[in-house]
Each structure stands twice: as structure tokens, then as C-alpha cells.
């Protein structure tokens, strides 16, 4: 549940951000809003060129702006090096989430061998398996199921209907949205004369601290060994992480991306939406994979490189090829005109024609 505080004064907000303000420090701010809709007692921010152009027309009582923002009208502003990040901190202060009260709902099924630390909240019809361990302050939403020997670190939040299979380890302050499935079998089969036989998936999943996994995403267990996700990594909705993948720290992966088995994604990489990555590929540190790209099996995207397209290639090359494709119709017309010009030229007429010399 999200509640709203009565108000915060501009000078208090500036103090929270350790930032300087200009204008009315005693203005009471009651809510955060977009720059288009914010009113006199609401705060917004300037985060891009479009917002910059809208600042003059905005009715927001206070704006969080970059250091160089001009203020000829003397508006109430707070200057922050990163306005978007600062605004996020203000939103969290003005609209805090109210955690459910601690305790175990009467309809929940909790194994007698599970260890539930103080301050945990277990929702209706949740299931906690044998030997599971929940750190202090964990929240398990309604209908969620934790298998045997699952470990949650302190302050984890599981929304309704999250499923975690056995032998999964999750660090502190992880957030798992509804429909997540963590630790399901990887896609491993062996071809035999009788058909496909399942290769036993006996590995596990380890997830670090401060990881957030979006709704209906899945992280498969390793066939042997570990599927891992590093600290601070964020997965969008409907992302699939295959068996034995090694996802580094502070990686960002957008929606509808599918990652095949044994892929390595190194720290701070950024992967756009609807990307497909073949097995055993490697995305090195701080590489960027554009939306809709396809990474071939065993392909290596080098550190800091930006790639796009299918198959993925360096962005500059992709843009040149895209521009060339855009000119195909124009080039076709030019070729047709040249063919017509050549066919009508005297040099193209056959010998012995009425127009040739005898």
C-alpha cells in the first residue's frame, strides 16, 4: 500500500538531497507529479530537453533542475547534479510504501523446520517449505510458494504469486514481482532414438543483494553448478534467464528479452527489450545491446561496445546499413533510368540498322 505524507517543505526536501534551493523554502510540497500536471503544491523535475522547454509553462510549485538551469523568473527550484535520481528520492519520501504488518496469516502453510526471522510478514495462502530461511523483515505475498531450503536475506519483498523452487539463495533487499518463477528446470534434453530425454537439472540459483526482478520473469536453475545474478541487477517484466547463466553486478535487462543457457553478462552491461541471446555468448562490461537485437551463439560483445540489429553489429555499421536499405527504392529508380538511357543511346543500336553508315 502506498500512502502520502501531509507535506514536506522545500527547505526540508533540499536538505534531504543535500542540495541548494532558490525561492520559497517554506513552500509546502504535498506530492510529486509530472511536469505537465504538477500544481502549485507539487514538485517535478527537469530531466531532458522536452521538460526543459516545458518548464516555463509548468505550474509546479517547485522544480528539481540541473545546476546550469536558468531561472530568470525567480521560481522555486532545487539544483541537483542528477535531477531524475533526486526526484526519485523525493517521491519515495512523499509517497512511502506501507509494509504489511508482521506475522503469519492463518491460511499460510509454513513448515515446522522453516526459520522465520522477526518482523516477517507471510501473506494468505503462502507456502514456506522445509528448511527455508527468511531474514528479518521479509514480506511474502499472498499465494507465493517457497520450496525446500530457499534462503531470503533481510528485507526481501515478494509480491503475490511468486514461485521459488528448492535450493535457491536470494540476498538482501531483493524485490520479486508477481508471477516470477525462480529455479525452474533449465531447457536441457538429450536426443535418443526414442525421442528427447530430460537431462537432470540438479544445480541451483544464487541471486545477490538489491536485485529486482519484474513480473512474469523466470530464472532457470543450472543443470550442474549455479545460475547467478549479481548485486544490484534489475530485470524488467517477462525476462528469461536460462540455465547456467552468469549475470554480473548492476546489469539492466529490459522487457521480453530471452537469454539462452551458459551466457555471461558482465558488470554494468545494458540490454534492451526483446533481445535474443544465443547460448554461450558473452556480453562484456558496460556493453550496450540495442532493443530487438539478436546475439549469435558464442558471440562476444566487447567491453563498452554498442551493438544493434540481427545479427548484432556495431551501432555505426548498423546505422550505415540501415541508411543504405532506406535508399534501395531510390537506387532502383536510378538504375532503371540508367538502363533506359543506355538502351536509347546510339552506341547501343545494332550494326546494320537503317541509321548506321553503309
Strand duo 189-192 + 195-198: pairing: antiparallel
Strands 306-308 and 313-314: antiparallel
Question: If you count DSSP H runs as helices and E runs as strands, how many of each does the chain have, helices first?
Answer: 5, 41
Smallest CA-to-CA distance from 147 within 109, 176, 100 is with: 109
The DSSP string of 108-151 is -EE-TT-EE-TT-EE-TT-EE-TT-EE-TT-EE-TT-EE-TT-E
Examine the residue annotation and report whether 355 is marked as an active-site residue of this protein.
no
Tell me the C-alpha to C-alpha distance, in Å, between residue 163 and each of 3, 15, 141, 173, 187: 28, 41, 11, 17, 18
Q: Report the 10 Å Cβ neighbour count for 65.
A: 24
Q: From the candidates 177, 243, 250, 355, give the one annotated as an active-site residue.
A: 243
Residues noted as catalytic:
243
Amino acid at each position: 500500500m502506498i500512502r502520502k505524507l501531509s507535506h514536506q517543505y522545500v527547505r526540508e526536501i533540499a536538505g534531504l538531497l543535500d542540495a541548494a534551493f532558490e525561492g520559497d523554502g517554506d513552500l509546502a510540497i504535498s506530492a510529486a507529479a509530472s511536469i505537465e500536471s504538477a500544481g502549485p503544491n507539487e514538485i517535478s523535475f527537469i530531466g531532458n530537453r522536452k521538460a526543459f522547454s516545458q518548464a516555463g509553462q509548468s505550474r509546479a510549485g517547485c522544480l528539481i533542475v540541473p545546476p546550469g538551469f536558468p531561472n530568470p523568473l525567480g521560481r522555486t527550484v532545487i539544483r541537483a547534479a542528477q535531477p531524475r535520481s533526486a526526484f526519485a528520492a523525493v517521491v519515495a519520501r512523499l509517497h512511502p510504501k506501507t509494509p504489511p504488518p508482521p506475522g503469519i496469516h492463518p491460511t499460510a502453510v509454513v513448515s515446522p523446520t522453516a526459520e522465520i526471522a522477526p518482523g516477517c510478514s507471510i501473506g494468505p495462502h503462502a507456502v514456506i517449505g522445509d528448511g527455508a530461511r527468511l531474514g528479518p523483515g521479509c514480506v511474502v505475498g499472498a499465494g507465493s510458494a517457497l520450496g525446500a531450503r530457499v534462503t531470503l536475506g533481510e528485507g526481501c519483498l515478494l509480491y503475490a504469486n511468486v514461485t521459488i523452487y528448492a535450493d535457491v539463495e536470494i540476498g538482501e533487499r531483493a524485490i520479486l514481482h508477481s508471477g516470477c518463477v525462480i529455479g525452474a528446470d533449465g531447457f536441457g534434453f538429450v536426443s535418443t532414438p526414442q525421442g528427447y530425454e530430460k537431462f537432470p537439472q540438479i544445480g541451483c540459483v544464487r541471486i545477490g543483494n538489491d536485485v529486482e526482478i519484474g513480473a512474469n520473469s523466470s530464472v532457470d536453475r543450472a543443470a550442474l553448478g549455479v545460475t547467478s545474478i549479481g548485486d544490484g541487477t534489475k530485470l524488467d517484466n517477462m525476462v528469461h534467464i536460462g540455465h547456467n547463466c552468469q549475470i554480473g553486478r548492476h546489469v539492466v535487462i529490459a522487457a521480453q528479452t530471452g537469454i539462452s543457457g551458459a551466457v555471461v553478462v558482465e558488470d554494468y552491461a545494458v540490454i534492451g527489450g526483446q533481445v535474443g541471446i544465443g547460448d554461450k555468448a558473452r556480453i562484456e562490461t558496460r556493453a550496450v545491446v540495442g532493443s530487438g537485437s539478436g546475439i549469435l551463439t558464442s558471440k562476444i560483445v566487447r567491453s563498452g561496445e554498442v551493438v544493434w540489429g540481427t545479427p548484432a553489429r556495431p551501432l555505426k555499421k548498423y546505422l550505415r546499413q540501415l541508411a543504405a536499405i532506406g535508399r534501395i527504392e531510390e537506387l532502383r529508380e536510378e538504375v532503371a533510368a540508367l538502363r533506359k538511357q543506355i538502351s536509347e543511346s546510339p552506341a547501343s543500336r545494332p550494326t546494320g540498322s537503317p541509321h548506321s553508315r553503309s
